[in-house]
Chains A and B, each alone.
Chain A
Amino acid sequence: MAAIQISNIKKSYGSLQALGGVSLDIEEGEFFGLLGPNGAGKTSLISIVAGLSKADSGQVRVLGHDVVTDYRMARKLLGVVPQELVFDPFFTVRETLRIQSGYFGIRNNDSWIDEVMHNLDLTDKADENMRALSGGMKRRVLVAQALVHKPPVIVLDEPTAGVDVELRQTLWNFVKRLNREGHAVVLTTHYLEEAQALCERIAMLKAGQVVALDSTRELLRRNAGAELVLSLAGGELPTTLQPLLVQAEPLATRNVYTLRLNSFDEVEGILTAVRRSGASIEHLQLNEVDLEDVFIDIMGGK
């Protein structure tokens, strides 16, 4: 059964179409990335999954439970970290987490609350009022609030936007642990290296449509083609290599060429051709494609 099954979700705000028929399945135990530029519809989609917003048409199920008709079960199974940094100024961290547990029907949740606080480095702040916390600390509490009921499906909407390295590492270590223990994780982020490192599968949204949906490995492979950057001292690029040229940068002392590689086997041929032309290679660098290149490629509409 899919952790989250999204079927043909459409949503418009007035004349603006936020989601134009989005369908995707996120499997149980999966670490899934939902990527796209601002305004692509990521948060709209998450809001519909979380029941914060209603779709114009289509259906979302969380572990088989419809988020509208069977919302109580669906919400019990879901833990959502909202993107906005919100808090209730009347309470301390511990009170906040106890109250959130109660909303999910859980009493006496202190041992799990302690564990979550420990894992998010919040233990020192347990009895501080929410108002007194820094932005990064408030973000940790938001994450903790989403986890009080040990949801099998966790949704993180840009959890690392504007937070320091330390929190990112703390957060990812904990989330990775939860994922290993079987929790499905859905992540939206603008930090593509994070998505590349963490997510097994990725969907890319653009203007309310899914424009790519595949395993991270496959996305990287399909859009592969590394780049070879050559600095030539004395001499120009042989004409036979011109078709591979991506960018040429003539400098005073040397010429820098960026060539597209369709496979690594081509390197040998390129080097041979350069040597034969009499140019000498001053420096050479191999750039592997990363998720950012893939993202730009796909969003660029190619």
Chain B
Amino acid sequence: MVGFQTLLHKEFLRFWKVATQTIAAPIVTALLYLMIFGHVLEGRVEVYPGVGYTSFLVPGLIMMSVLQNAFANSSSSLIQSKITGNLVFVLLPPLSHWEMFLAYLMAAVMRGLMVGVGVLLVTVWFVDLHLYSPLWILAFALLGAAILGTMGIVAGIWADKFDQLAAFQNFLIMPATFLSGVFYSIHSLPDVWQKVSHANPFFYMIDGFRYGFFGQSDVAPWLSFFIVLCFFTLLGGVALQLLKRGYKLRH
């Protein structure tokens, strides 16, 4: 238990000590997106009746920031430790695969949520946001961060070099987030792309999260929740297996 707490604490300090880069920077980025897209599209696009475009955009931006930062945290921590070799300090002690998984996961969730709350706090000045159901908001934020944190663990274990991790991030995570309906409702898409979007698990995270704000969504929140939960269980199982077997960590 102490081992797990220590690893979690260390992982927390790892991003907290460089919070300008890991917390503040993504908040500024999200704010820029909001100002530019909000400026261009406000008044021209109405996704849900009675909801302005900028208001529609905010939950999507928050969720995108949560997801990207959760992924960035666990993946960069692991790849840095692997490449510099200091992962040995975690591999030598009697830490179980569960302890390692939960520590990296929870640190990733923490960073994701901190950035998410930060984006919420700065955007709340620009838009009139209602919180229809804070519980759904929290549930989807937590699960979304957990999923991306887990993907970060898997990617960090798998990648041998920084460019492999960058490929994972740029060719998988980024498209999946951008094409999940952060900036639009998938109902505005042609039929084919609507169906494709339904195969993207990220879509359900953002759709469910947005439901928490507006009480309106493309699919029912319980369905989204179920799908997202299944996805997390699956990924978590994969990550735990990799850690247990020592895949690419214990040769």
Residues in A lying within 8 Å of B, measured CB to CB: 13, 47, 50-54, 71-76, 78, 80, 82, 84, 86-91, 99-107, 145-146
Residue of A50, A84, A90 touching B92 (CB-CB under 8 A): A50
Given contacts A75-B94, A84-B85, whether A103 and B6 have CB atoms under 8 Å apart is yes
Which chain A residues border B89 with CB–CB below 8 Å? 86, 88, 99-100, 103, 145
Which B-chain residue is minimally distant from A148 (CB atoms)?
B93
Which chain A residues border B84 with CB–CB below 8 Å? 86-89
**In the bound complex, how far is the Cα of B198 from the Cα of A21, in angstroms?**
55
Which chain B residues border A51 with CB–CB below 8 Å? 91-92, 250
Interface with A: B10-18, B54-62, B108-116, B123-131, which one?
A: B10-18
Which B-chain residue is minimally distant from A50 (CB atoms)?
B92
Find out whether the CB atom of B88 lies under 8 angstroms from the CB atom of A86.
yes
Which B-chain residue is minimally distant from A146 (CB atoms)?
B92
**In the bound complex, how far is the Cα of B93 from the Cα of A78, in angstroms?**
9
Residue of A53, A73, A106 touching B250 (CB-CB under 8 A): A53
Find out whether the CB atom of A104 lies under 8 angstroms from the CB atom of B85.
no
CB of B196 within 8 Å of the partner chain: no
Which chain A residues border B9 with CB–CB below 8 Å? 99, 102
Task: Please give the distance in Å from B84's CB to the nearest CB on chain A.
Answer: 6
Which B-chain residue is minimally distant from A80 (CB atoms)?
B92
Which chain A residues border B246 with CB–CB below 8 Å? 54
CB of B86 within 8 Å of the partner chain: yes
Which B-chain residue is minimally distant from A85 (CB atoms)?
B85
Task: Please give the distance in Å from A11's CB to the nearest CB on chain B.
Answer: 9
Find out whether the CB atom of B88 lies under 8 angstroms from the CB atom of A102.
no
Which 4 A-B pairs give the minimum distances between C-beta atoms? A102-B6, A103-B93, A86-B85, A72-B94
Name the interface residues of B227-251: CB closer than 8 Å to any CB of A: 246, 250-251
